[in-house]
Amino acid sequence: MNDFWQPSCSLDALRQRAQLLRTLREFFAARDVLEVQTATLGSRTVTDVAIESLRVRDGAFLQTSPEYQLKRLLAAGAPSLYQLGPVFRAGEAGRLHNPEFTLLEWYRIGFDHLQLMAEVTELVDLVLGSQPIRTLTYKDLVGTLSGDRDVLDLRCADAIAKLGQGRFFITEYPAEQAALARLDAASAEIAARFELVIDGVEIANGYHELGDAAELRQRFQDDRAHRTRTGLYCPELDERFLAAMESGLPDCAGVALGVDRLLMLKLSASSLAEVMPFPVTIA
């Protein structure tokens, strides 16, 4: 029988996904965090050198994250909020990657990254069951805070893969890898950024958010310079986002969490294909 049209995951996995989505929404409803829905197609995209965007025929971009638009809402006066839905990244396909995936991203006004790490822990414990989370600094993991960015990225990825079973927060990233995080109040060499790794799988990435529009513009320009040097596509700056930051981002912390990976861990699956019905290979 020709079954090439069949979904890659089981019906039970679909039911488990539906339950997980309900659990996540209930988690935020109990904390009075507002669910919003922003555009998945936008005129601008991120400059992050580690992320490649999918561009459609008319020049618009499928969004790699709702981050910029969520922060624009915060700058416009929205309360703590979250979005749960699809995002898109080019060149990502494999056991732990798919060009389209489900992302949970949320922002908590008045939180710093440490308070947000505690809330991430509550959510993960709710979904996967309670288990201790060990905290390692980036320097503990990689051995240094300085060096070529691309080399450090490779060393960090290799070290994460070798962590093995368990839950780990990686903290105190070097300032050069701050992304959109502010620098630590105690040291300008360290970013107020964390990453959660569970059983060798990167699950979440969060920051105490930087609201300084001038500093953000400089970081984006540095990204563009890096992209030009390395032959990557160089997107224009998102001036609407920067204008929102000039208007004023409230003090907040934010985090993005991969829902498909979380479900994969919950079901002890070995790949994303086991928890999503139509990965790119059969969509």
Per-residue pLDDT 10s for the chain (283 aa) are 578 999 999 999 999 999 999 999 999 999 999 999 999 999 999 999 999 999 998 899 999 999 999 999 999 999 999 999 999 999 878 899 999 999 999 999 999 999 999 999 999 999 999 999 999 999 999 888 787 777 888 888 888 888 889 999 999 999 999 999 999 988 889 999 999 999 999 999 999 999 999 999 999 999 999 999 999 999 999 999 999 999 999 999 999 999 999 999 999 999 999 999 999 999 9
pLDDT score at 111: 98
C-alpha closest to that of 123 among 181, 167, 180, 73: 167
Cross-sheet strand order for the sheet of 54-55: 41-42, 61-62, 54-55
What distance in Å separates the CA atoms of residue 102 and residue 89, rounded to the nearest whole number? 11
**Quick one: DSSP state of residue 186?**
T
**CA–CA gap between residue 57 and residue 75 (Å, rounded):** 31
Where are the alpha helices (H) located in 83-238, listed in sequence order?
A: 113-128, 138-142, 149-161, 213-230
User: What's the confidence (pLDDT) of residue 247?
Assistant: 98
Task: Give the DSSP H or E segment for 75.
Answer: helix 67-75
Residue (of 262, 221, 5, 10) closest to 123 by Cα position: 262
The DSSP H or E segment spanning 72 is: helix 67-75
Q: Distance between alpha carbon 20 and the CA centroid of its chain, in Å?
A: 18
Q: How many Å apart are CA 90 and CA 235, to the nearest integer?
A: 14
pLDDT reported for residue 155? 87
CATH architecture of 11-274: 2-Layer Sandwich (3.30)
C-alpha distances in Å from residue 52, one per residue of 4, 60, 193, 236: 30, 14, 21, 14
> What pLDDT score was predicted for residue 1?
53
